[in-house]
Amino acid sequence: MKPSRYLVERSTALSRTAVWGAVLAALVLLSLPWWGQPSLMRWAVEVMCFLVLAQMWNLLAGYGGMISVGQQAFVGVGGYGLFIFAQHLGVHPFWAVPLGGVLAALVAAATARLMFRLRAGYFAVGTWVLSEVIRIALSNLSITGGGSGQSLTVMARMPRELRESGTFWIACALLIAASLSINLLLRSRFGLALTAVRDSETAAESQGVDVAGLKFRVYVMAAFGTGLVGALYYLNTLRIAPSSAFDLNWVVAAIFIVVIGGIGTVEGPMLGVALFFGLRWLLADYGSWYWMAMGALAVVVMVVAPQGIWGLIHKKTGIELLPMRRRLRPIP
Amino acid sequence: MSEWIATLIQGCLLGGLYALFAIGLSITYGVMRVVNIAHGDFIVLSAYLAMVPVAMLGVHPFVLVLPVALLMFGVGYGLQRLLLNRTIGPDILPPLLVTFGLSILIQNGLLEIFSADSQALQVGALSTASLDLGAGITIGAFPLLVFLVSLLLTLAISLLFNKTPVGVALRATSDDPATAGLMGIRAKHVYALAMGLSFALVAIGGVLSGARTTFTPASGPASLLYAFEAVVIGGMGSLWGTFAGAVILGVAQAVGAELNAGLGVLSGHLVFLAVLIFKPTGLFARTK
């Protein structure tokens, strides 16, 4: 007999366990300042920065279908935003971090229409040019130290303990907020529209999705998150220069983490960031070999399993830790 | 006054070099709708390929232009046939990210083999030879030669596209690979030919550029950006438009550098952005 009633559900027993696991992990992470070394805290901030950076690139490319090779523009703008607000305008450094994100979002909003004039592959290179323009302009700006950059000397006034734990907790807050908002966003009506656009722009538009408006919002949101990462990263390192803030390696890292982990999945960037830092630790003494290994791995993944390692695991086992789609369960 | 005329001429000649890079990029985008992010890194790779025999056997770089171009044609053909063709589809993400991965591989591979030191291909007396145009204007003989080579190659490619069966196959596949397939044109082979052609141009540009200025393993991205800007300034679908775009970019950079030594590249970028604002289809676009 065919079942006559169905239940629409999204969560599974595994995914509910995964959520509790994530809550537990977050609590352990938040308590780190009470038991961890300062060096461990700085390292954890770096890892969290790269994870959020990758999540933002995943949102932009994996869900929004916009492949950017210029996200370092927003890392740089966010970082410089921190320095401008904290060092030059006297804002408390911790409050200058969100302002850095806002500045990045404003730059994105101002340039989005222009970049969207470039299609597909050319959009990717166009964003890179934009980043170069901002980098060169800042290199010639003497207030922010020109090409040699500047130090965040206002942080010296803050007690060391507060500085370190404050930076660390801001990083935790950023990671948790970014993960939660991406999950909620993708589960919402907005996320459904976004997935539709990614799969077919024409079909989505015919169903009444405002494609251009949607892309604009995703671009600005990703820039905001990336700007926060930039501000936070340079709050951690206390020194900024155009060549490092606008370094292509930012987006290289984000792309490798997302592609190898699994593009267009929520779990992918988390797996990717673990691989990224794991491999970096293993190949610490072989600088360029590390990047070659990452490049080769990304090429192989794209050719053999475009959905990344997480995609492969999902295909083989059907596991989803943070499911986005709904499924029907017959009620006997 | 004569200083400015000299700057303009230098910019035009620089643009000739960029045209070689840009036309290669334009061909692959035109036929496959794919941007090769590693384009600039293959330019640098070609320069290093020429550098090894120059350093070991002492041959003149010019002797190596043709062999390196043939070799790179093979590399491009093979790369497309064996690797990139597997990723081509309605989704542009896989081919873009594969070339992105290749770009990082090549940069770091070159860094490992040749170190970060800047290199140059020595062309002897030609590098300093110049022509006196009178009124205090002199232009370098070698940049002029590069410009003429670029002009001739653009003409040759334009004839290839418009007058030969290979050109018909390339254009047909660009318009509609499925219908072209019905006419017996194998898209996979045509894609590989387009990539090979692009690589041959890149190789010629790479060797000439290596003799014109210095290069390091990290010089690739800048060349990619210039090639891309030239294509966008010129407009899609027009080879001579791309050539003109490259010349405009070269002039913009030369004029910018004349105003302030640090701003040459920036003024090129700004001209690109200005074109994108006021004439997003490019100045000489033939197709939309």
Q: Which residues of B touch A70 (CB under 8 A)?
A: none
Token pair in block for residue A183: 């999950």
**Placement of tokens 């063709």 in the chain:** B85
| Residue A246, burial from CB neighbour count under 10 angstroms (0-12, 13-18, 19+) | buried
Number of Cβ atoms within 10 Å of the Cβ of A146:
15
Closest partner residue to A288 among B97, B111, B272, by Cβ?
Answer: B111
Task: Please give the interface size between A and B, counted as residue pairs whose CB atoms are below 8 Å apart.
Answer: 122
| Predicted local distance difference test score (pLDDT) of residue B235 | 85
Nearest Cα residue to B170 out of B28, B19, B22 = B28
Is residue A288 a contact partner of residue B111, using CB atoms and an 8 Å limit?
yes
Q: Which residues of B touch A297 (CB under 8 A)?
A: 101
Closest partner residue to B33 among A120, A128, A137, by Cβ?
Answer: A120
Is residue A244 a contact partner of residue A83, using CB atoms and an 8 Å limit?
no
Residue A19: partners with Cβ closer than 8 Å, 6 or more residues away: A322
Q: Which residues of A touch B104 (CB under 8 A)?
A: 252, 291-292, 294-295, 298
Question: What's the gap in Å between the CA of B53 and the closest CA on chain A?
Answer: 25
Beta strands in chain B (DSSP E): 130-132, 138-140
Q: Which position has the higher pLDDT, B153 or A280? A: B153
Number of Cβ atoms within 10 Å of the Cβ of A27:
9
| Predicted local distance difference test score (pLDDT) of residue A4 | 67
Token pair in block for residue B80: 């497309």
Query: Average pLDDT of chain B?
Result: 89
Q: How many CA atoms lie within 13 A of A295 on its CB side?
A: 21
Task: Return per-residue pLDDT of chain A as tens, 332 residues.
Answer: 565 677 777 777 777 888 888 888 888 888 888 888 888 888 999 999 999 999 999 999 988 888 999 999 999 999 999 999 999 998 999 999 999 999 999 999 999 999 998 887 789 999 999 999 999 999 988 888 888 889 988 888 888 888 888 999 999 999 999 999 998 888 888 888 888 888 888 888 888 888 889 999 999 999 999 999 999 999 999 999 999 999 999 999 999 999 999 998 888 999 999 999 998 888 877 778 888 988 999 999 988 888 889 888 888 887 777 776 677 777 76
Compare all CA atoms of chain B with the CA of A305 and give the residue at the minimum distance: B94
Asked if A282 reaches chain B (Cβ–Cβ under 8 Å), the answer is no
Question: What's the gap in Å between the CA of A79 and the closest CA on chain B?
Answer: 21
The dihedral sign for the CA sequence B19, B22, B26, B32: positive
Token pair in block for residue B237: 């679908």
Question: What's the gap in Å between the CA of A243 and the closest CA on chain B?
Answer: 13
User: Would the pLDDT of B288 be above 50?
Assistant: no
> Helices then strands (H, E): number in chain B?
11, 2
Find the angle CA(B185)-CA(B186)-CA(B189) to the nearest 5 degrees.
125
Asked if A183 reaches chain B (Cβ–Cβ under 8 Å), the answer is no
CA distance B113 to B19: 29
CA distance B202 to B221: 13
CA distance B231 to B248: 11
- DSSP helix/strand/coil, B140: strand
CA-only gyration radius of chain B, Å: 19
Confidence of residue B168 (pLDDT cuts 50, 70, 90): confident
Q: To 10 degrees, what angle do helices A120-139 and B264-278 make?
A: 140
- Site from B85, B100, B278, B281 to mutate, A interface, most A CB atoms within 10 angstroms: B100
| Predicted local distance difference test score (pLDDT) of residue A3 | 59
Asked if A305 reaches chain B (Cβ–Cβ under 8 Å), the answer is no
Token pair in block for residue B200: 């041959």
Where residue B33 falls (left for φ over 0; alpha for ψ -120 to 50; beta otherwise) is left
Q: Which residues of B touch A (CB under 8 A)?
A: 29, 33-35, 37, 83, 86-87, 92-94, 96-98, 100-105, 107-109, 111-112, 221, 224-225, 228-229, 231-232, 262-263, 265-266, 269-270, 272-273, 276-277, 280
Token pair in block for residue A224: 């905001």
For the segment B29-56, the average pLDDT, to the nearest whole number, is 91
The answer to whether the Cβ–Cβ distance between A295 and B224 falls below 8 Å is no
Phi, psi angles (nearest 5°) of residue A9? -140, 155
Question: What's the gap in Å between the CA of A9 and the closest CA on chain B?
Answer: 30
For the segment B244-252, the average pLDDT, to the nearest whole number, is 95
List residues bridging with A150 in a β-sheet.
A240
Q: Which residues of B touch A126 (CB under 8 A)?
A: 228, 232, 276
Is residue B84 a contact partner of residue B38, using CB atoms and an 8 Å limit?
no
Closest partner residue to A133 among B86, B107, B273, by Cβ?
Answer: B273
Q: Which residues of A touch B259 (CB under 8 A)?
A: none
Instruction: Read off the pTM.
Output: 0.90
User: What ipTM goes with this model?
Assistant: 0.88
Compare all CA atoms of chain A with the CA of B224 and give the residue at the minimum distance: A125
CA distance A277 to A290: 11
Q: Which position has the higher pLDDT, B256 or A315? A: B256
Asked if A137 reaches chain B (Cβ–Cβ under 8 Å), the answer is yes
Length of chain B, please?
288
Confidence of residue B18 (pLDDT cuts 50, 70, 90): very high
- DSSP helix/strand/coil, A289: helix
CA distance B202 to B269: 21
CA distance B246 to B226: 8
Q: Which residues of A touch B228 (CB under 8 A)?
A: 122, 125-126, 129
Range list of H helices, A84-239: 93-115, 120-139, 160-187, 189-199, 201-206, 211-237
Closest partner residue to B92 among A121, A292, A295, by Cβ?
Answer: A121
| Predicted local distance difference test score (pLDDT) of residue A1 | 53
User: Would the pLDDT of B142 be above 60?
Assistant: yes
CA distance B28 to B38: 12
List residues bridging with A222 in a β-sheet.
none
Q: Which residues of A touch B94 (CB under 8 A)?
A: 302-303, 306
Closest partner residue to B276 among A114, A132, A296, by Cβ?
Answer: A114
The answer to whether the Cβ–Cβ distance between A125 and B224 falls below 8 Å is yes
Is residue B150 a contact partner of residue B19, using CB atoms and an 8 Å limit?
yes
For the segment B34-55, the average pLDDT, to the nearest whole number, is 92
Asked if A293 reaches chain B (Cβ–Cβ under 8 Å), the answer is no
User: Would the pLDDT of B57 be above 70?
Assistant: yes
The answer to whether the Cβ–Cβ distance between B263 and A117 falls below 8 Å is no
Is residue A276 a contact partner of residue A298, using CB atoms and an 8 Å limit?
no
Is residue A262 a contact partner of residue A308, using CB atoms and an 8 Å limit?
yes
Find the angle CA(B269)-CA(B49)-CA(A125) to the nearest 5 degrees.
25
Q: To 10 degrees, what angle do helices A120-139 and A93-115 make?
A: 130
Residue ranges of domains in chain B: 2-278
Q: Domain spanning B2-278: which CATH class is it, in words?
A: mainly alpha
Confidence of residue B40 (pLDDT cuts 50, 70, 90): very high
Amino acid type, B271: V
| Residue B210, burial from CB neighbour count under 10 angstroms (0-12, 13-18, 19+) | buried
For the segment B260-275, the average pLDDT, to the nearest whole number, is 89
Asked if A283 reaches chain B (Cβ–Cβ under 8 Å), the answer is no
CA distance A332 to A106: 54
Amino acid type, A15: S
Instruction: Answer whether CATH 1.10.3470 is correct for domain A5-331.
Output: yes
Closest partner residue to A252 among B93, B104, B112, by Cβ?
Answer: B104
Q: Which residues of A touch B105 (CB under 8 A)?
A: 292, 295-296, 299
Closest partner residue to B101 among A61, A128, A302, by Cβ?
Answer: A302
Phi, psi angles (nearest 5°) of residue A207? -95, 10
